[in-house]
Structure 1
Amino acid sequence: MGAIPLEKLKPLHLQTFYKELIEGPRLDGKKGPLSQASLVYHHRVIHKALDTAVKQQLIPYNIADSVELPKIQKELITYDPDDEIDNTQAVKILDEQQVNYMLEKARETPYYALLFLAVRTGMRRGELLALRWKDIDERQKIIKVRQTIGYTPEKGIFFKAPKTKNSRRNIDVSEDAIKVLKNHRKQQHEKKLLLGPNYNDYDLVFCQDNGLPMHPDTISSWFPEFLERIGLPRLNFHCLRHTHASLLLKAGVDVKIISERLGHSSVRITYDIYSHLMPGMQRTAVEKLEQLLK
């Protein structure tokens, strides 16, 4: 549509553009259909631009007034909308030795507690960065996932509720995880005292030094470079979620429990993502059964 001269732009051109937005591949690379809200946003931007053109007498009237926005039919969601990956891609993980080595090296960075909790809980990046201290029950050793973080150029960084009921969940954690969090809180408190009134207290567990929310891309950009720097394969931050699931599978944990910990909207999603890790576990199950019956 950008190639059409402004004075030759017709309502049909806009209608065709909206149709292509709905039916074509998404420009942001995400899965699933474009939302009605996104379509309305595009229309408002175009309408405002054409209003300006009318005021400057570049065109006689705003053709967007003559365009009726199409209604987007909601499709059945066959993927987990809270996950940040393409489930058709190969799952990449770290093994036990690599995890221990990675965490040992991470002690020298500001992100040790964040990486430790990612491996121990399988929480998504947005869930970790939105985690508040009030969401952690140290006595019961439970983490409550109640919100996630997002970012758009229009809104900036913002908090939102999990998209599915299963994403809103409680995750049991170990005593070691609680100890790491307590130490992290102590370090955070020292920074808070140092900054005094300049500290922005959002009660966030993982945040910038001044208390403000961390941009989601900060850890995503840093993590692959960190792995490469310490001699490990260059993987994205989401690999820690996969690593958590794979280690649980290797330990013989039931897939339903793993699905609940990950907050998948259905067990089928967990099977779809990790089924390739399961064939060898059937052999292990047979061997355990034979030992039990001897």
Structure 2
Amino acid sequence: MSKAFKDKTYQRCACKGPLVDKAGKPILNEDGTPKIGYLEKRCPKLKRRDHGSWYYSIEIPAGPGGKRRRPKKGGFKTQEQAAAEAAKVYNDAQAGVDVLSDETVGEYLRRWLNNQHDLKATTKNGYEDYLRLYFTPHLGHIKLRELRPRHIEEMFAAIQAENKVKEKNQEAAQLAREAEEKTRAAWRDAIAPRDPQLRKTWNDAKAELKAALARPRRETGPATQHRIKMALSSALEDARKRRMITDNWAAMVQTPRMRKAKALEWTPARVEAWRKTGKKPSPVMVWTPEQTGTFLDSVVYDRLYPLWVIIAFLGLRRGEACALPWAEVDLDAGVIHITEEIVTVAYEPHEDTPKSDNIRDIALDEDTIALLRWWRDQQQAEKNEWLEATGEWTDTGRVFTLEDGAEYHPQYFSDRFERLYKKVDLPPIRLHDLRHGSATLALRAGVAMVAVQRRLGHSSIRVTSDIYTTVLAEVEREAAEATVAVVPRSRKRVIPEPKADDEPSQDQEERDGKDAGEDQNVPDQDAA
């Protein structure tokens, strides 16, 4: 195909010399001197293979109003390269791609994002961050029609290089923190009158720590890189469908393997190791039933005790509990309807639909129904006291509110949860892990996986099983033990005890029985 476009190519160079017209006559300046300019195809050196470069110029279907369109480009080392590119551009144009568009990747992505009206607030905010931090700096200057996989791969290579710098910044910050603690202890433990140099050393260490903490330290991990790629792929797929590009180049790029975190329980051995090292075995840790009971017993008199109960047993997300209105709580029917949640975008709270748009109903047990009835009465009593004292009360209709009826910020729940469990010296988990713990409790109680999936509002049962693989293994072992226990056995030992030397084996008994049978069948010779 490219051979057919060789006649659309020509050679040019950057040499300058006296110019001539089409008839070959010299072109003169006003003062009669020869006009100097680029010789281009008239350069005598073009016959040399290493001189100049090759260009192509083709004509493609006319634009609006019948305007002629002639793409041209140069800089190719050989005529074959120029002809091949001409063929590609011609085919792209025939397929509907605007090969003359000068829109850059940055311009297109901004335009694309502005037209995404159905994105959740958190998702759109994440896309804005990707555009600002990654797409614009690394890809924004490239023309959309010239984007290729290598450009995207170079962006991820730069992210990996930045991660190495951030890792070193983390190490430097840790060393600076240790130095600050050491100099602070030296100042604190010094006998009065303290040496002023100790104070100066401490101040210098604090300044170094502040500078170290100001450097970027948060790495862009595999999960975030995967989301960056998927956001870019979504935008480029739309461009492909609109015939702006020929392929979704992002779909061809590989990112580091993303390993989904597995939920692990805080077993005694893991707790002991954590107390020695301070390291969590997994990003997703859940308490054992005993640890969950310890926490709930310790917060019985906390004002938000009902909140901790419904997250621990019903598995609500933080934002779902924050947004839960009394209008969606049917205590007579024993059910709550999860129809909205409050999410934070740059710390600002926004109302939204539940994650994965999973509006669902959750059945309530009798204890939780009684607890929510009590809490509703408590809230009404607080309302009356507040009206009596101030004459004002904010009627948000939420189940969990401040004493004046105003909404909580979702982050307050997480911060308070951390303070409460630390008081009773429990191993660390996130508030979201308390939701994970509700799933492990249900699985241990024999609740079907599909029921757990529906209660948690996961988009698919695979998501549920992927998170709780480790916990499920423990549940399955318990199920195996329970299955064996169903069958009554006279022997308690699973492995047979060794037989005494004089006790015949089963094989010997079978052989003895067979021999005895054969003897009985032999005719008596005397009788014969």
TM > 0.5 between the two? Answer: yes
Q: Distance in 1 between matches of 2:312 and 2:472?
A: 20
Deviation at 1:292, TM superposition (A): 5.0
Encode CA deviations 1:239-279: one digit per residue, 9 max, x unaligned. 21111011111112211111111000000001110001112
Tell me what 1:230 maps to.
Answer: 424
Could you say what secondary structure the match of 1:257 adopts? helix
- Would you say the 8 A contact 2:312–2:438 is kept in 1? yes
- In structure 2, the CA distance between the partners of 1:14 and 1:257, relative to structure 1 (3 Å rule), is closer
The alpha-carbon deviation at position 188 of structure 1 amounts to 0.9
CA drift at 1:139: 1.4
The answer to whether the aligner puts 1:193 opposite 2:387 as a matched pair is: no
Aligned with 2:470 (options 262, 273, 276): 276
Q: For residue 19 of structure 1, report the CA deviation from its aligned partner.
A: 5.0
Following TM superposition, by how much is the alpha carbon of 1:286 offset from its aligned partner in structure 2, in angstroms?
3.3
2:283 matches 1:164: no
- Counterpart in the other structure of 1:173: 364
Cα deviation digits, residues 31-61 of structure 1 (max 9, x gap): 534869xx9xxxxxxxxxxxxxxxxxxxxxx
Question: Aligned equivalents of 2:353 and 2:249: distance in 1?
Answer: 23
The structure-2 alpha-carbon separation of the partners of 1:13 and 1:275, relative to structure 1 and needing over 3 Å to count, comes to closer
The separation in 2 between residues aligned to 1:272 and 1:149, in whole angstroms, is: 26
Aligned residues: CA RMSD: 3.3
Alpha-carbon spacing, 1:147–1:184, altered in 2? closer, same or farther (3 Å):
same
* Alpha-carbon offset, residue 200 of structure 1: 1.0
Residue 130 to residue 97, structure 1, CA distance change in 2 (3 Å): same
The CA distance in 2 between the partners of 1:162 and 1:286, in whole Å, is 37
Q: Which amino acid aligns with 1:172?
A: A
TM-score by length of 2: 0.41
Q: 2:314 matched to 1:108?
A: no
Whether 1:144 aligns to 2:337 is yes
Q: Give the structure 2 partner of residue 50 of structure 1.
A: none
* Number of the residue aligned with 1:206: 400
Distance 1:164 1:229, change over 3 A: same
Residue type at the aligned position of 1:219? F
Distance 2:219 2:307 in 1: 31
How far did residue 87 of structure 1 move? 3.9
- Residue aligning to 1:221: 415
Matching residue's letter, 1:164: S
* Structure 1: 5+ residue stretches without partners: 1-10, 40-71, 76-85
Equivalent position of 1:285 in the other structure: 479
With 167-176 and 207-216 compared, the bigger mean Cα shift is at 207-216
Give SS of 1:212's match.
Answer: coil
CA distance in 1 between counterparts of 2:463 and 2:296 reads: 28
SS at match of 1:265: coil
Deviation, structure 1 residue 281: 2.6
Amino acid at match of 1:174: D
1:94 corresponds to which residue? 287
Residues of 1 paired with 2:471 and 2:316: CA distance? 20
Q: Distance in 2 between matches of 1:206 and 1:181?
A: 11
Native 8 Å contact 2:322 2:408 kept in 1: yes
CA 1:13–1:291: 2 relative to 1, 3 Å:
closer
137-146 or 278-287: which moved more?
278-287
- C-alpha distance in 2, partners of 1:190/1:162? 31
**Other structure's SS at 2:286 match:** coil
Paired with 2:383 and 2:478, the residues of 1 have a C-alpha distance of: 50
Higher RCO (CA 8 Å, separation ≥ 6 residues): 1
Which structure would you say has the larger Rg?
2
Distance 1:219 1:28 in 2: 27
Determine if contact 1:149/1:158 at 8 Å carries over to the other structure: yes
- Identical amino acids, percent of aligned pairs: 27
Would you say the 8 A contact 1:120–1:173 is kept in 2?
no
CA offset digits 1:96-125 (Å, max 9, x no partner): 222222112112222101001111100100
Pick aligned residue for 2:136 from 8, 11, 17: 17
Does residue 263 of the first structure (1) align with residue 464 of the second (2)? no
1:20-169 superposed matches below 5 A:
31=224, 32-33=227-228, 87=261, 89-153=282-346, 156-165=348-357, 167-169=358-360
* Structure 2 unaligned blocks of 5 or more: 1-102, 108-134, 141-151, 160-217, 236-247, 252-259, 263-281, 489-528
Q: Which amino acid aligns with 2:324?
A: L
Distance 1:74 1:162 in 2: 29
